[in-house]
A and B are shown apart, each in its own frame.
Chain A
Amino acid sequence: MALETFYEVMRRQGITRRSFLKYCSLTAAALGLGPEFAPQIAQAMETKPRTPVLWLHGLECTCCSESFIRSAHPLVKDVVLSMISLDYDDTLMASAGHQAEAILDEVMTKYKGNYILAVEGNPPLNEDGMYCIIGGKPFVDQLKKVAKDAKAIISWGSCASYGCVQAARPNPTRATPVHEVIFDKPIIKVPGCPPIAEVMTGVITYMLTFDQLPALDRQGRPLMFYSQRIHDKCYRRPHFDAGQYVESFDDEGARKGYCLYKVGCKGPTTYNACSTVRWNDGVSFPIQAGHGCIGCSEDGFWDKGSWYARLADLKNSGFGIEANADQVGLVAAGAVGAGVAVHAAVSALKRAQHKNTDGATKTEGGEK
Chain B
Amino acid sequence: MTDTSLSGAAPPAAPTTPVAQAIAGGKKLTTVYVYEAPVRLWHWVNALSILVLCVTGYLIGSPFPTLSGEPSSHYLMGTIRFVHFSAGYILAVGFLGRIIWAFFGNKYSRELFTFPFWRKSFWKGFFTEVQWYAFLKPRPLKFVGHNPLAQVFLFFVMVLGLAFMILTGFALYSEGTGLGSWQANLFGWVIPLLGGSMQVHTLHHLGMWVIIVFIIIHVYSVIREDIMSRQSMVSAITNGHRTFRDDDPD
Question: Contact residues of A with B, CB < 8 Å?
Answer: 217-219, 223, 227-229, 232, 238-247, 253, 258, 261-262, 266, 268-271, 295, 298-300, 304, 310-312, 314, 317, 325-326, 328-330, 332-333, 336-337, 340, 343-344, 346-347, 350-351, 354, 366, 368
- Is the C-beta of B2 less than 8 angstroms from some C-beta in chain A? no
Interface, chain B (partner A; CB < 8 A): 58, 61-68, 71-78, 133, 135, 138-139, 175-176, 178-179, 188-189, 191-192, 195-199, 201-203, 205-206, 208-209, 212-213, 216-217, 220, 224, 227-228, 248, 250
Query: 4 tightest A-B contacts by CB?
Result: A329-B209, A243-B76, A269-B197, A242-B74
Measured in the bound complex, the distance between the Cα atoms of B217 and A336 in whole Å is 8
Question: Contact: A261 with B63, CB < 8 Å?
Answer: yes
> Does the CB pair B71–A241 fall under 8 Å?
yes
> How many residue-residue contacts, CB under 8 A, span A and B?
139
Closest to B206 in A: A325
B54 CB → nearest A CB, Å: 10
Query: Can you name 5 extra interface pairs (CB under 8 A) apart from A223-B179, A243-B64, A247-B66?
Result: A229-B175, A269-B201, A347-B135, A350-B138, A354-B138
Which of B62, B73, B76, B201 contacts A326, CB < 8 Å?
B62
29 examples of A-B residue contacts, CB within 8 angstroms = A217-B179, A227-B178, A227-B179, A232-B178, A241-B71, A241-B75, A242-B74, A243-B74, A243-B76, A262-B63, A268-B197, A270-B197, A299-B192, A299-B195, A300-B195, A304-B198, A312-B199, A314-B202, A317-B199, A325-B202, A326-B61, A326-B62, A329-B209, A343-B224, A347-B224, A347-B228, A351-B227, A366-B248, A368-B250
8 Å CB contact of A311 from B62, B72, B75, B175: B62
Cβ of B209 and Cβ of A333 under 8 Å apart?
yes
Interface centre among B72, B178, B195, B209 (most CB of A within 10 A): B209
Whether A329 lies near B71 (C-beta < 8 A) is no
CA distance A311 to B202 in the complex (A): 7
Min C-beta distance of A254 to chain B, whole Å: 11
- How far does the Cβ of A317 sit from chain B's closest Cβ, in whole Å? 5
* Residues in B neighbouring A343, C-beta threshold 8 A: 133, 220, 224
Q: Report the Cα distance A337→B220, complex, angstroms.
A: 9
User: Are A243 and B77 in contact, with the CB atoms below 8 A?
Assistant: yes
Shortest distance from the beta carbon of B119 to any chain A beta carbon, whole Å:
23
Of the candidates B64, B176, B213, the one having the most CB atoms from chain A within 10 angstroms of its own CB is B213
The complex places the Cα of A150 from the Cα of B209 at a distance, in Å, of 50
Chain A residues in 8 Å Cβ range of B228: 347, 351
Whether B72 pairs with A218 at a CB distance below 8 angstroms is no
A337: which of B65, B175, B216, B250 is its contact (CB, 8 Å)?
A: B216
| B62 contacts across to A, CB distance below 8 A | 310-311, 326
Residues in B with CB closer than 8 Å to A219 are 192
Which residues of the partner chain A approach B58 to less than 8 Å between Cβ atoms?
Answer: 326
Give the CA-CA distance A239 to B198 in the complex, in Å.
Answer: 21
Query: A217-B179, A240-B77 known; A312 and B198 CB under 8 Å?
Result: yes
Known: A328-B209, A329-B212, A351-B228. A238 touches B71 (CB 8 A): yes
CA distance A253 to B67 in the complex (A): 10
Q: How far is the CA of A304 from the CA of B200 in the complex (A)?
A: 12
A218 to B187, CA, bound (A): 12
Given contacts A217-B179, A269-B196, A347-B228, contact A244 B74 (CB under 8 A): yes
Is A218 a contact partner of B192 (Cβ separation < 8 A)?
A: yes
The answer to whether B61 touches A310, judged by C-beta atoms less than 8 angstroms apart, is: yes
Q: Output the nearest chain A residue to B73 by Cβ-Cβ distance.
A: A242
Chain B hits for A227, CB < 8 A: 178-179
- Contact partner of A346 (CB less than 8 A), chosen from B135, B205, B220, is B135
CA distance in complex: A337, B202 (Å):
23
Residues of B within 8 A of A270 (CB): 197
Q: Which residue of A lies closest to B213 (CB)?
A: A336
Q: How far is the CA of A126 from the CA of B68 in the complex (A)?
A: 54
- Shortest beta-carbon distance, B84 to chain A, in Å? 13
Known contacts A325-B206, A343-B220, A344-B220: A245-B63 contact under CB 8 Å? yes
Does the CB pair A328–B66 fall under 8 Å? no
Q: What's the minimum C-beta distance from B225 to chain A, rounded to whole angstroms?
A: 10
Q: How far is the CA of A271 from the CA of B67 in the complex (A)?
A: 28
Nearest residue in B to A304 (C-beta to C-beta)? B198
Complex-state Cα separation, A242 to B205, whole angstroms: 22
CA distance A330 to B58 in the complex (A): 12
Q: In the bound complex, what is the Cα–Cα distance between A215 and B7 (angstroms)?
A: 71
- A325 contact set on B, CB distance < 8 A: 61, 202, 205-206, 208-209
- Collect the chain A residues with CB atoms within 8 Å of residue B212's CB: 329, 333
Whether B76 and A242, one on each chain, are in contact in the complex, defined by CB atoms closer than 8 angstroms, is yes
**Complex CA distance for A38 and B198, rounded to whole angstroms:** 38
Q: How far is the CA of A366 from the CA of B58 in the complex (A)?
A: 51
Query: In the complex, what's the smallest C-beta–C-beta distance from B191 to chain A, in angstroms?
Result: 8
Q: Give CA–CA (A298, B191) in the complex, Å.
A: 12
B178 touches A312 (CB 8 A): no
| A317 surroundings in chain B (CB, below 8 A) | 199, 202-203
Find B216's partner among A262, A333, A346, A347 (CB 8 Å cutoff): A333
What is the chain B residue whose CB lies nearest that of A223? B179
From known contacts A244-B67, A247-B66, A340-B217, infer whether A218 and B198 are also in contact, taking CB-CB under 8 Å.
Answer: no
* Chain A hits for B195, CB < 8 A: 299-300
Query: In whole angstroms, how far apart are the Cα atoms of A350 and B138 in the complex?
Result: 8
- Which residues from chain B contact A247 at a C-beta distance below 8 Å? 65-66
User: A293 to chain B: closest CB distance in Å?
Assistant: 11
Distance of A227 Cα from B184 Cα, bound (Å): 11
Could you tell me the distance between the alpha carbons of A344 and B65 in the complex, rounded to whole angstroms? Answer: 37
In the bound assembly, the distance between CA atoms of A258 and B34 in angstroms comes to 54
Residues of B within 8 A of A246 (CB): 66
Bound form: Cα–Cα A344–B250 in Å: 26
